[in-house]
Structure formats: structure tokens, C-alpha cells
């Protein structure tokens, strides 16, 4: 079970958060079709450290960027968005 260090509320139970998407999936308004396509459908899906966007839905409601190891579940970095 994850104890997610919310930059606004401090460490909170995983149950309060929702995983939104990985950072490499962000589509910008002026992206070319090929770039937007890749952002929608292509994931590095690393077996190791990756960057993710989570929301503290049942806490402060803020968006977070987590750098997290997908094998050990250890957090390296959490930043408010």
C-alpha cells in the first residue's frame, strides 16, 4: 500500500488519490497529429522509474507529479502541479 507524500497535506493513504496518467501522455493544443497520436497511445511503460500525474481527489484536490519506481514502489520525487 502506498503512503503518498502530498506536497500540500503531507503523507496520506493511497486510497485518497487517483492515478491519472503518465507524464509522457500529455497532449498539447499545438501538437502535430503524429505527436498527439504518440502522446495518446505510445507509452514507455518502464519497468523502473517513471513519471506520473496523480490527483489527491479525496484530499486537497490538487494535481501532483510523482517520480516513482514501478517495481519497488519507492518515490523519488513529488511535486505540486
Partner 1 sequence: MAKTSFAAGRYSALALLRGALGGHRHWGRAWRAAEPGGPYDVIIIGGGGHGLATAYYLAQVHGVRRVAVLEKGYIGGGNTGRNTTIVRSNYRQPQLQRMLDHSLRLWHGLSDELNYNVMFSPRGALFLGHSDADMVKLAERGDALIAMNIDAELMTPDAVAKLVPLLDMRRDARWPIEGGLIQRRGGTARHDAVAWGFARAADNLGVDIIENCEVTGFLRDGDRVTGVTTTRGDISGGRTAICVAGNSGHVAGLAGLKLPIESHTLQAWVTEPVKPMIDTVVMSQSLHCYFSQSDKGGIVGGGDPDMFPSYAQRGAPIRLEESIAQCIALAPALSRLRMVRSWAGVTDMSFDGAPIIGEMPLAGLYLNGGWCYGGFKATPGSGWLYAHLLATGENHPIAAPFGLDRFASGRTVDEAGAGPMPQHR
Which residue ranges make up the site for partner 1 (CB under 8 A)? 1-2, 14-15, 18-19, 21-22, 37-38, 40-47, 50, 52, 54, 70-73
Is the Cα dihedral 44, 57, 75, 78 positive or negative? positive
The minimum distance between CB 29 and partner 1, in angstroms, equals 17
Tell me whether residue 42 or residue 81 sits nearer to partner 1 (CB atom): 42
Quote the CA–CA distance of 55 and 73 in Å, as a whole number: 17
- From the list 56, 59, 55, 51, the residue with the least C-alpha distance to 76 is 51
The minimum distance between CB 40 and partner 1, in angstroms, equals 5
Tell me whether residue 7 or residue 69 sits nearer to partner 1 (CB atom): 69
Amino acid at each position: 500500500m502506498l503512503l503518498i507524500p502530498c506536497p500540500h497535506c503531507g503523507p496520506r493513504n493511497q486510497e485518497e488519490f487517483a492515478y491519472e496518467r503518465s507524464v509522457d501522455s500529455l497532449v498539447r493544443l499545438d501538437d502535430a497529429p503524429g505527436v498527439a497520436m504518440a502522446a495518446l497511445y505510445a507509452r514507455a511503460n518502464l519497468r523502473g522509474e517513471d513519471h506520473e500525474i496523480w490527483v489527491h481527489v479525496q484530499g486537497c484536490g490538487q494535481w501532483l507529479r510523482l517520480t516513482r519506481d514501478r517495481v519497488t514502489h519507492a518515490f523519488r520525487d513529488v511535486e505540486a502541479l
